[in-house]
Structure 1
Amino acid sequence: MIYGIGTDVCDIRRIADTLQRRGERFAEKVLGPHEIEVFRERRARVDARGIAYLATRFSAKEAFSKAIGLGLRMPMTWRDCEIVKAASGKPEIRLHGELKAWFEAKGLQAHVSVSDETDYATSFVVVETRGAGPA
């Protein structure tokens, strides 16, 4: 059964402007431990790729916070929600700390899709109760 749905569109130019003003501190506030490593690797190769990566993660976390109905209130935090890539390339949500405990206690599972183009990143998240799915 669907618990919640969230979507978000992010202007990549705004993320670039924020990075320029605040430096990497902005990325460190938004990204979890694995994500910050990927961000730095991508940005070192091609700056725009790193910025697009940050924008998709920002967008996905916004969509996830909407799908779980908390917004950015505890236990939802930027860094406790990571968007990682499975071996297949499919994006997945990895949770940490209090957010992970809260999510598991409710018996939830999440599905995420992210996409970006030159100026925009978008994400869509569906959260459902465990065991729900095709019959």
Structure 2
Amino acid sequence: MGSGSIAGIGTDLLRVDRIERIHARHGGRFVRRILGTDEQLVHARRQARDPRRGILYLATRFAAKEAFSKAIGLGIHMPMTWSRVQIINRRGGAPEIHLSGPLKDWYDARFGPAHVSMTDESDVVAAFVVVENLPRDQA
């Protein structure tokens, strides 16, 4: 972590079958609502290789975005929207939070680095987010 103090912590635990049911009912519309454009590309590749991997990807991202919204204290209210938060894996595989649009501007004025961890089992996924305060010289 960076040198900032903790501004917020969020966590989410989600049953995979909930995402399976929603995806079965709404398909691509649900994917486009929850995932940003970069995430949609990764999801499509994983879904094509193995539909179960596609569902787990969707579920972990859903949980991570819920945890992020809790950590910043907004819930899913403007400027927070699902697609303005993307959880993209770095080269080594570690997930990283990428923000866009009005949410990025809002966040950058209030917070420092954000950190995310996700895990999945066959029937549940979990995500944990820690958000740091702005460094003192930026606050």
TM-score, normalised to structure 2, is 0.92
What is the alpha-carbon root mean square deviation over aligned residues? Answer: 1.1
In structure 2, distance between residues paired with 1:91 and 1:23: 25
1:62 aligns with 2:66: yes
SS at match of 1:73: coil
The share of aligned pairs that are identical, in percent, is: 52
The alignment covers a number of residue pairs equal to 132
In structure 2, distance between residues paired with 1:40 and 1:125: 25
SS at match of 1:118: coil
Aligned pairs for 1:7-86 (under 5 A) are: 7-86=11-90
In structure 1, distance between residues paired with 2:24 and 2:94: 30
SS at match of 2:83: coil
Mark the runs of 5 or more structure 1 residues left unpaired by the alignment.
none
TM-score, normalised to structure 1, is 0.94
> After TM superposition, which residue ranges in structure 1, 4 or more long, deviate above 4 angstroms?
none
Mark the runs of 5 or more structure 2 residues left unpaired by the alignment.
none
**Matched residue type, 2:109:** A
**Which digits, 9 at most, give the CA deviation of each residue in 1:17-52, with x for residues without a partner?**
111111111011000010011111100110000000
In structure 1, distance between residues paired with 2:108 and 2:99: 10
In structure 1, distance between residues paired with 2:27 and 2:100: 25
Q: Which of 101, 118, 126 pairs up with 2:105? A: 101
**Which digits, 9 at most, give the CA deviation of each residue in 1:74-101, with x for residues without a partner?**
1111000000001121101000000001
